[in-house]
């Protein structure tokens, strides 16, 4: 028995170790058709679990708790699901609206805000209990409520979002969640379709669908109001049809330049951040949907709307040239970089696959099966402003 004891202790400690799971290198992949979420390990390229029946995830996004244990999934059907990534289970699920587009987590991690199309507005919940904390209808006229897009968190326990139908940007301060303070910026331009915030939380930029240009709000200088930038881009060019609305996610910044999708043109816009003027445009394979910078800013990866959605193009930021065109498969919907950018995961909807690339060699590393994947979200987002 004396001899057995150390062995037993060893066995016991192994079994305990096997149950431990760190979450800093995990991620969530959305399977849009089945309404499932996959928990994946980005270091080992493994699928760890499938969380089922989250509702209509035809459009979905995910934010993470600051302890990186919980993932909050925002579904198209107004569903909000809190997934426990340690237990591979749903912690809580609510339906909070009829039709939603996205969400954000507050600076202190205690609040979850969701932008809704129907009924239009933003609802704020406790990240712990998912109880309603604040309800902010996006009213902009007699009986009118706008669809809300481009919701992001901002420093100072604030959320910023845009009203698609009203052409407004609103900022909500929730330092006292019981009494939200709303500041409205009207007349920012026609049909803001999405927005982003700079990694330092200073600049909020909404892209416009209904007219040329973008709307810029400097959160360090609110009194200056919203400034229109690039009002003339593409003014004289033929506007091509847009078969999928572009997304502005994160901040594709490299050096002094901000990279953004042009609307109705097969181009990526390169904007000088010092002057907010157009520095250059880069001709690409189609209508860009996601324009995302590798974390070190050396490359910008671009995917496209139907019918050019079988390709991904990579811009070399050093000389603003196209360095490579990849063909991961049919219907590339989303991309996500590992935290320091040595790899990128690509969701290929119609081929039912996730493709992992080495961003240095641009060679494929591996493929994992996923049924109609449409979004990839790594837990490293937990510590990034605006994600």
Partner 1 sequence: MKKSLLLMLVIPAVFANTSMASKPSQNRQITLRNMLKHDCGACHGLTLKGGLGPALLPEALTGKPDDFLISTIINGRPGTAMPPWQPFISHDEAAWLLGILRKP
Residue 242 token pair:
């847009």
| Minimum CB–partner distance for residue 79 and partner 1 (Å) | 12
Asked, as a colleague might, if the bond just before 119 is cis with ω within 30 of 0, I would say yes
Nearer to partner 1, 117 or 233 (CB): 117
Instruction: Check residue 243 for interaction with partner 1 (CB under 8 A).
Output: yes
Per CB under 8 A, which of residues 169..228 are in contact with partner 1? 191, 193, 209
Per CB under 8 A, which of residues 92..121 are in contact with partner 1? 98-99, 101, 117-118
3-state secondary structure of 366: strand
CB 258 within 8 A of CB 252: yes
Residue 277 token pair:
């003027």
The residue count of the chain comes to: 387
Instruction: Check residue 371 for interaction with partner 1 (CB under 8 A).
Output: no
Per CB under 8 A, which of residues 10..49 are in contact with partner 1? 32-33
Instruction: Check residue 77 for interaction with partner 1 (CB under 8 A).
Output: yes
Instruction: Check residue 308 for interaction with partner 1 (CB under 8 A).
Output: no
Nearer to partner 1, 52 or 67 (CB): 52
| Minimum CB–partner distance for residue 107 and partner 1 (Å) | 28
Q: Comparing C-alpha atoms, which of 190, 146, 141 is closest to residue 170?
A: 146
The 139-168 site mask, x for binding partner 1 (CB under 8 A), equals --------x----------------x----
Report d(CA 75, CA 72) in Å as an integer: 10
Nearer to partner 1, 76 or 158 (CB): 76
Instruction: Check residue 56 for interaction with partner 1 (CB under 8 A).
Output: yes
Q: What are phi and psi of 7, to 5 degrees?
A: -65, -45
Binders of partner 1: how many residues, by CB under 8 A?
Answer: 29
| Minimum CB–partner distance for residue 94 and partner 1 (Å) | 18
State whether the Cα torsion 41-301-351-244 is positive or negative.
positive
* Residue in this structure with the two tokens 């007699």, named with its chain if needed: 142
Q: Comparing C-alpha atoms, which of 295, 379, 383 is closest to residue 42?
A: 379
Give residue 2's Cα distance to chain centre. Answer: 57
Binding span for partner 1 by CB under 8 A among 199-207, 235-243, 249-257, 377-385: 235-243
Report d(CA 168, CA 156) in Å as an integer: 21
Report d(CA 311, CA 285) in Å as an integer: 8
State whether the Cα torsion 135-138-144-147 is positive or negative.
negative
Per CB under 8 A, which of residues 331..370 are in contact with partner 1? 331, 349-350
Which residue in 69, 76, 294, 334 binds partner 1 (CB under 8 A)? 76
Nearer to partner 1, 120 or 180 (CB): 120
Nearer to partner 1, 263 or 382 (CB): 263
* Residue in this structure with the two tokens 């060699």, named with its chain if needed: 361
Which residue in 158, 266, 334, 372 binds partner 1 (CB under 8 A)? 372
List contacts with partner 1 (CB under 8 A). Answer: 32-33, 56-59, 76-77, 98-99, 101, 117-118, 147, 164, 191, 193, 209, 241-245, 306-307, 331, 349-350, 372
């Amino acid at each position: 028995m004396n001899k057995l004891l150390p062995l037993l202790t060893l066995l016991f400690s192994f079994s305990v170790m096997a149950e431990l799971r760190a979450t800093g290198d995990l991620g969530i992949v959305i399977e849009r058709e089945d309404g499932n979420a996959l928990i994946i390990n980005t270091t080992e390229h493994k699928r760890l679990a499938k969380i089922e029946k989250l509702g209509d995830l035809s459009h979905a996004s995910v934010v993470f708790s600051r302890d990186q244990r919980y993932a909050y999934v925002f579904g198209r059907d107004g569903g909000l699901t809190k997934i426990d990534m340690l237990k591979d289970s749903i912690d809580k699920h609510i339906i909070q609206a009829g039709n939603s587009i996205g969400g954000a987590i507050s600076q202190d991690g205690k609040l979850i805000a969701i932008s809704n199309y129907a009924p239009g507005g933003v609802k704020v919940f406790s990240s712990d209990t998912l109880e309603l904390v604040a309800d902010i209808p996006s009213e902009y006229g007699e009986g009118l409520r706008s669809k809300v897009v481009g919701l992001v968190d901002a420093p100072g326990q604030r959320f910023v979002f845009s009203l698609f139908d009203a052409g407004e940007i609103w900022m909500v301060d929730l330092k006292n969640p019981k009494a939200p303070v709303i500041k409205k910026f009207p007349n920012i331009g026609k049909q803001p379709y999405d927005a982003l915030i700079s990694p330092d939380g200073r600049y909020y930029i909404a892209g416009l669908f209904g007219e040329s240009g973008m709307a810029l709000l400097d959160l360090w200088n609110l009194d200056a109001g919203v400034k229109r930038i690039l009002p003339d881009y593409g003014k004289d060019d033929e506007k091509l049809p847009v078969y999928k609305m572009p997304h502005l996610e994160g901040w594709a910044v490299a050096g002094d330049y901000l990279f953004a999708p042009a609307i109705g043109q097969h181009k990526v816009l390169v904007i000088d951040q010092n002057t907010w003027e157009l520095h250059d445009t880069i001709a690409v394979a189609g209508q860009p949907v996601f324009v995302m910078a590798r974390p070190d800013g050396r490359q910008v990866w671009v995917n496209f709307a139907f019918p050019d959605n079988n390709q991904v193009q990579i811009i070399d930021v050093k000389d603003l040239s196209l360095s490579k065109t990849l063909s991961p498969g049919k219907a590339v919907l989303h991309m996500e970089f590992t935290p320091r950018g040595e790899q990128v995961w690509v969701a290929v909807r119609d081929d039912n696959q996730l493709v992992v690339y080495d961003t240095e060699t641009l060679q494929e590393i591996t493929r994992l099966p996923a049924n109609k994947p449409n979004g990839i979200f790594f837990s490293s987002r937990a510590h990034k402003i605006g994600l």
